């Protein structure tokens, strides 16, 4: 693997609605700038089905719009590309990220804390790295 795969959790969901919390919408531009500087070539997220939240798709779409990329929808982690030819961003629910590690042949256990919406998992030829504060909010509210 000559490229990096960046995996983030969707932004914080609203308490009572099926969408991104309004406070996290303000941070989307900062997140997009972060990934634009990493030369992302493709963005993937999970297709919402049934009663699942649309937050991963909303997060991926907002970021993609700001860095001029399409979003590829996957039914589940097995639809993610097995081989990558550029840096990719995967926006996914945190409960399924262990399966993404296995998809790319990384062994070991990984747990994404329920309260963490700022982390980024980076996969590359050297292994994987977890930065729990990679997307820490750096904006000032209106």
pLDDT value of residue 121: 96
Provide the pLDDT for residue 73: 97
Q: At what angle do helices 55-66 and 28-36 cross, to 10 degrees?
A: 60
Per-residue pLDDT of the chain (142 residues; tens, 9 = 90+): 689 999 999 998 888 888 888 888 888 888 999 999 999 999 999 999 876 779 999 999 999 999 999 999 999 999 999 999 999 999 999 999 999 999 999 988 899 999 999 999 999 999 999 999 998 855 433 3
Residue 111 lies in a domain: no
- How many domains are contained in the chain? 1
Range of the domain at 65: 26-78
- Could you tell me if residue 102 is inside a domain? no
Q: What is the 3-state secondary structure (H, E, C) of the chain?
A: CCCCEEEEECCCECCCCCCECHHHHCCHHHHHHHHHCCCEEEEEEECCCCCCCCHHHHHHHHHHHHCCCCEEEECCHHHCCCCCCCEEEEEECHHHHHHHHHHCCCCCCCCCCCCCCCCEEEEECCEEEEECCCCCCCCCCC
Residue 95, domain member (yes or no): no
Residue 104 within a domain: no
142 is a domain residue: no
pLDDT in tens, 55-92: 999 999 999 999 999 999 999 999 999 999 999 999 99
- Look at residue 114 and tell me if it is in a domain: no
9 within domain boundaries: no
- Identify the pLDDT of residue 140: 38
């Amino acid at each position: 693997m000559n490229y990096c795969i960046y995996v983030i959790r969707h932004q914080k969901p609203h308490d009572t609605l099926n969408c991104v919390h309004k406070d996290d919408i303000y941070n989307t531009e900062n997140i997009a700038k972060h990934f634009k500087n990493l030369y992302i070539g493709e963005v993937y997220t999970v297709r919402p089905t049934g009663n699942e939240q649309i937050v991963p798709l909303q997060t991926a779409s907002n970021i993609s719009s700001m860095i001029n990329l399409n979003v590829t929808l996957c039914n589940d982690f097995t639809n993610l590309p097995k081989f990558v030819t550029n840096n990719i961003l995967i926006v996914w629910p945190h409960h399924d990220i262990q399966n993404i590690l296995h998809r790319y042949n990384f062994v070991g256990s990984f747990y994404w804390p329920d309260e963490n919406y700022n982390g980024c998992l980076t996969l590359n030829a050297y292994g994987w790295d977890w930065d729990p504060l990679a997307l820490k909010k750096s904006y000032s509210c209106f």
